[in-house]
Amino acid sequence: MLQRGAVLLGEAVVIPGVLLYAFAAAGHAMAGLLVVLGWRSACILGRIAGHRRVPTTCWFAFALFLARACGGLAAGSVSLYLLIPVVLCALQGLFFVGSALAERPVMMRLAADYTADLPDSPTLRRLFAQLSGTWGVVHLVCAALGAWAITLPTPSDVAVTSALAIGCTVASVGGCIAWGLWRMARIPGVRLVFADRPAPREVVAPERVPAAA
């Protein structure tokens, strides 16, 4: 799972960010947008041509990217391309923080998609509220830094925004995993299992060696 996540992060964030920065630094920012659009489209088409399943997350991310890329190309502005993720990041942060404060944590609803036996206990609800708050606060901080980055020259803006995208992903996911494991290990009656229980091995009695005459 970590390997798949690292590949998707490189494919969707790192490589497009490097391409756009290289073209923006060379003074061809709009050409960079076209190259990034071609790269993202090729990634999706490559999976389809290889008869590999395209994850729903990839389709969703590609749809968002396509919307902001077309908006930036239509307006002839790379700043608009970089502004849209900042706005979406801020809205996501407000949504998650609001769900935590309202005691209806979004994280708990998302976790229910992966398990059918998630008890709605006050202790677990409090844990998922903390996780939702952590996710939301990280995205609000990244949105604030992204809004500041837009005031920088275009090459610096691209570099800072790409770094923020990576940092926001790692900080939010890593922070939620670390806090969740630390808190769950202290909840009475909850046991963390990281692998299938191994099947009991059949005990074979040793053969008897006949005694020497």
Span 6-24, pLDDT tens digits = 777 777 777 887 887 788 7
pLDDT score of 205 more than 60: no
Of residues 113 and 176, the one with the higher pLDDT is 176
Distance CA 135, CA 107 (A): 9
Q: Are 111 and 179 in contact (CB under 8 A)?
A: no
Q: What is the mean pLDDT of residues 140-144?
A: 89
136: buried, middle or exposed (CB in 10 Å: 19+, 13-18, 0-12)? Answer: buried
Distance of alpha carbon 166 from alpha carbon 185, whole angstroms: 28
Q: What is the pTM of this model?
A: 0.62
Question: How many Å apart are CA 117 and CA 124, to the nearest integer?
Answer: 12
User: CA 90 to CA 69: how far, in whole Å?
Assistant: 19
> Which amino acid appears at position 41 of this protein?
S
For residues 102-106, average pLDDT: 85
